[in-house]
Amino acid sequence: MELSAFPGLLFTVFDRFTLLTMFFTVFALTLDFMKRRKKCQNYPPGPWGLPFIGNIHQVDFNSPHLSFAKLQKKYGDVVSMQFGWTNNVILSGYETIKEALVKKSEDFADRPDLPIYDYMNEKSGEGIVFAKYGQWWKEQRRFSNLTLRNLGLGKKSSEMRIIEEVAFLNKELEDQKGLPFDPNFILTCATSNIICSTVFGERFEYKDKKFLALLHMLDESFVLEATFWGQLLNTFPFIRHLPGPQNKIPENQKKAIDFVQEIVTEHKKSWDPNEPRDFIDAFLAEQEKMKHIPNTSFQESKMIGSVLNIVTAGTDTIAITLRWALLYMVLHPNLLSKVHEEIDRVVGKERKPTLDDREEMPYTNAVMHESQRFGNVAPLSLPHQTYRDTEVMGYRIPKGTTIIPNLTSIMFDENIWSTPQQFNPGHFLNSEGKFVKPEAFIAFSAGLRVCPGEQLAKAELFLLFTCMLQRFTFHLPENEPRPSYTEGIYATSLSPLPYRLCAKLR
């Protein structure tokens, strides 16, 4: 080849490379447009997204509920967004969420595929919380509700189980000897033990290393799943093969699965199908009964997912609510005095409080409900997915759309609450001082996917809070900064920033 021809050949190669690059760019952008274009007429409005990533850059995953509040002001109560190629609709306002989750409950009863749980789903089943809507979910939901009731959920036996744990909780508080401490660890151990005694048939000592490791893994996983990296994994599943914090999620899931599997193995050595001691025994008995039925949902490999769902749901939000409640009490000593006065008048200082006292203690009950509201413990609930093509507030939403119920929009709605930006137990009291719960208070979600442990959670909150305050008074440590009650840490649930307090025997 003559040297003079080389520049021309180089130009030709470069020219072809440029054309090829342009072709693939146009192809990728066209594919992205087809994936992200609206699927139907009268689809909800929303902000424009960028190619390939959609609107993911417009959400602060440290406080997504605040990002959605801004979108609600601009676009209304039904807003569409895209994370990658996933269509999302954010529902705000009580009437909107009620229409979707209650009036059209089956239309919105499905769950989206969440890649952050792929390892969990593969190794232990989806569990009743995240399972797709269908026969499997219906069977397991029915079984779980019935079994938990048979094991005492909402009955006197569950009340005694809570009271038993209160003794251990109060002992831990007394052992602090009035010195400053962070209540997070103690409250989490107490609430976890109550649900563990129902599911595993045993409670754990607060210093049990395996138990503490499980709680640490669950807490770390909640944080990781809610962060930008967790949501990035949900949007772009291929990043599971890249290095990064997201790889810690399946590692923790494996450890949690191993923890439950070890307990299941021990149960199988001593269980009696005629006398189930706990949830695991009841599942094994049902599995034995259904073993000849093809495609039965009662498989040991699928049980672990449901067990973990129940344990995590029964641990996290209740402990967080109690942390908010104690924070509000130390920040408002006058309200704490009112709770003490009501406890002393109705229960006294000797006998243990019972659920029967709740009706005679409207102020204490109101404080617990207001702690849930103002603490905004479940700001976005859990994501739903449309089971079929449907409509909400006049907008058409196709089957398979991810639905995010923005419960924050209800908890701070000035049309529902007289002073939404203040901690005010009066929101749950009528003019006669009796407890009332507004219809719009749906802290446990609503419809077919409402929290199955709602009654147990309410019992725990009232009894744990009342028993602690019967015996102790709480105050802030001297010479320490005043903790914030308006900021929180978002990790699916919204928990207060770490703070310390002192517990003094009354």
- At 98-126, the pLDDT tens digits run 999 999 999 999 999 988 888 888 888 77
Q: Which pLDDT band, with edges at 50, 70 and 90, does 314 fall under?
A: confident
The dotted CATH code for 103-385+424-505 is 1.10.630.10
Q: Identify which has the larger pLDDT, 134 or 223.
A: 134
Q: Residue 181's pLDDT is what?
A: 96
pLDDT greater than 80 at residue 22: no
Q: Which pLDDT band, with edges at 50, 70 and 90, does 77 fall under?
A: very high
pLDDT greater than 60 at residue 245: yes
pLDDT greater than 70 at residue 156: no
Q: Identify which has the larger pLDDT, 52 or 473.
A: 473
Q: Identify which has the larger pLDDT, 369 or 148.
A: 369
Tell me the average pLDDT across 156-185.
92
pLDDT greater than 50 at residue 417: yes
Judged by average pLDDT, the poorest of 119-123, 281-285, 402-406 is: 119-123
Q: Residue 33's pLDDT is what?
A: 54
Mind listing the pLDDT tens digit for each residue in 382-394?
999 999 999 999 9
Domain residue ranges in the chain? 103-385+424-505
Q: Are strands 384-385 and 402-406 parallel, antiparallel or unpaired?
A: antiparallel
Q: Which two tokens stand for residue 138?
A: 């219906």
* Cα dihedral 10, 15, 16, 20 sign: positive
Q: Which pLDDT band, with edges at 50, 70 and 90, does 193 fall under?
A: very high
Three-state SS at 78? strand
Tell me the average pLDDT across 7-21.
56
pLDDT greater than 50 at residue 3: no
Percent of the chain with pLDDT over 90: 60
pLDDT greater than 60 at residue 290: yes
Q: What is the tally of helices (H) and strands (E) in the chain? A: 18, 10
Q: Residue 224's pLDDT is what?
A: 84
Q: Residue 15's pLDDT is what?
A: 60
* Three-state secondary structure string covering 20-34: HHHHHHHHHHHHHHH
> Hunting for tokens 């660890």 — which residue is that?
185
pLDDT greater than 90 at residue 430: yes
Judged by average pLDDT, the poorest of 32-46, 278-292, 356-370, 431-445 is: 32-46
pLDDT greater than 90 at residue 27: no
Instruction: Report d(CA 236, CA 475) in Å as an integer.
Output: 47
Judged by average pLDDT, the poorest of 184-193, 289-298, 315-324 is: 289-298
Instruction: Report d(CA 197, CA 195) in Å as an integer.
Output: 5
Q: Identify which has the larger pLDDT, 470 or 290.
A: 470
Nearest to 503 by CA among 330, 248, 254, 280: 330
Tell me the average pLDDT across 405-433.
96
Tell me the average pLDDT across 227-231.
82
pLDDT greater than 50 at residue 464: yes
